[in-house]
Amino acid sequence: MIKKPIVAANWKMYKTPQEGVSFVSEICNLLLDKEKPTIIFCPSFTSLFYMNENLSDSGIELGSQNVYFEPEGAFTGETSVGMLKACGVRYVIIGHSERRHIFNENNTSLNKKLHVVLDNGLVPIFCIGETFDDRNARYTKMVLKEQLTKGLDGVKGQLIDRMVIAYEPVWAIGTGVNAEPKQVEDTHLQINGLLAELYATELVKQIPILYGGSVKPENAKELIEVEGVDGFLIGGASLKLELFSKIIEIVKNNYKG
């Protein structure tokens, strides 16, 4: 089965609701009736409701950048999966390196989030990746293994095909320096191997694995041609209409599946 490639925009803490709405209406006009990859916008919580109203019928998907694992309660500042669903969210980014490193999220709480997202019928975009020091010390595989085994603990095989993995080397995020295609190929292969230690090969084959870290129009072709790369999770370049639409076009024309 050929996978459909994914181009996901992680807007981080950028764009007001008005800016988000006008961005997606321009993208919708550009891509109207065109065959396209799965496109997912992950704006901040404040934009979700408004963007959902403007995305209906466009075939473009909405994702959030985080979720809390409790269904409701006295958890000031948090957002539940039910609240996200009510805003039309289908995808949830879990374990982004900024959440891990700035907000001290750990494998245990990320595992709870993965469960709640899957149990409620949404699709996690589960982020993993090593730091610069990890890579230099040749700890990459060990770090990815720990993130995957602890993050996916207790997640049953029948749910795993509704899951997206994003490999984002921390040293490539927001730095302008992407991982080399060969590094990406080797690491995606390792991730596939690690997943195959946990789940049946047939299931693992269905899991899209995205690359993230300084993706831009200049490197998108060589990266999407890498075996095992099923799309991108994009930060900076997803904030600019011209750059983002170019990357979508490149993915559409060059993904081999």
- In the complex, the residues that contact ligand 13P under the rule CB under 6 A are 10, 96, 168, 173-174, 212-215, 233-237
> Is the CB of 96 or the CB of 145 nearer to ligand 13P?
96
Q: What is the CA radius of gyration of the chain?
A: 17
Q: Which of 61, 96, 98, 130 is catalytic?
A: 96
Question: Which residue out of 61, 105, 168, 185 is catalytically annotated?
Answer: 168
Active site residue 168: yes
Place of tokens 């602890």: 150
Q: Which is nearer to ligand 13P, 198 or 239 (CB)?
A: 239
C-alpha to C-alpha distances, 127 to 34, 74, 87, 246, nearest whole angstrom: 29, 27, 23, 24
Confirm if 100 and 65 have CB atoms less than 8 A apart.
no
96 part of the active site: yes
Biggest alpha carbon–alpha carbon distance for the chain: 48
Task: Give the residue nearest to ligand 13P (CB).
Answer: 235
- Minimum distance from CB of 76 to ligand 13P (Å)? 26
d(CA 26, CA 11): 16
CB of 175 to ligand 13P, least distance (A): 7
Q: How far is the CB of 209 from ligand 13P (least distance, A)?
A: 14
Closest CA to 9 of 86, 85, 64: 64
The CB density around residue 161, as the number of other CB atoms within 10 Å, is 14
The two structure tokens encoding residue 4: 């459909």
Comparison of 94 and 237: residue with beta carbon closer to ligand 13P: 237
Asked if residues 195 and 87 have their Cβ atoms less than 8 Å apart, the reply is no
Tell the smallest beta-carbon distance from residue 226 to ligand 13P (Å): 16
Counting Cα atoms < 13 Å in the Cβ hemisphere of 39 gives 23
Nearer to ligand 13P (CB atom), residue 21 or residue 93: 93
State the catalytic residues.
96, 168
